[in-house]
Amino acid sequence: QVQLVESGGGLVQAGGSLRLSCVASGRTSSRYPMGWFRQPPGQEREFVAVISWSGGSRDYADSVKGRFTISKDNAKNTVYLQMNSLEPEDTAVYYCAAAPQFPYTLPPARVDAYDYWGQGTQVTVSS
């Protein structure tokens, strides 16, 4: 089983930045594609970003392109989400997730493509 623990959330003013971290543990966790999702209050969980095991392939939701950057450090079993130019619309609980069903390609941007989830970290952006 894979365990994921997010950190780095908090309260920030619009235009500010935060960096989220997700530490993975468990067998072969570092070889899984890793993604970030977010769930605004009262809404469904939505895709934010994904990165391949090697870190060479990335994809982003249109709403965050140019502002967010996903990266990883396999030696530390850690995935990061650098969030710049934050907007109030970015307010959500952010979750990291692992997709062991897709070892060779980036998984699709939907919740059911991911099998393991962290508990989430709150990001609140004030106007």
* Rg over CA atoms, the chain: 13
d(CA 122, CA 6): 10
Per the prediction, the chain carries an average pLDDT of 94
Beta-carbon-side half-sphere exposure of residue 83 (alpha carbons within 13 Å): 34
pLDDT digits (tens, 9 = 90+) for 19-29: 999 999 987 55
pLDDT digits (tens, 9 = 90+) for 29-70: 567 899 999 999 999 999 999 999 889 999 999 999 999 999
Torsion sign over Cα 69, 74, 79, 82: negative
Query: Sorting pLDDT into bands at 50, 70 and 90, what band is 75?
Result: confident
Output the pLDDT for position 31.
78
Output the pLDDT for position 30.
60
Place of tokens 């989400």: 81
d(CA 81, CA 69): 6
Q: Where are the beta strands (DSSP E) in 42-91?
A: 46-51, 58-60, 68-73, 78-83
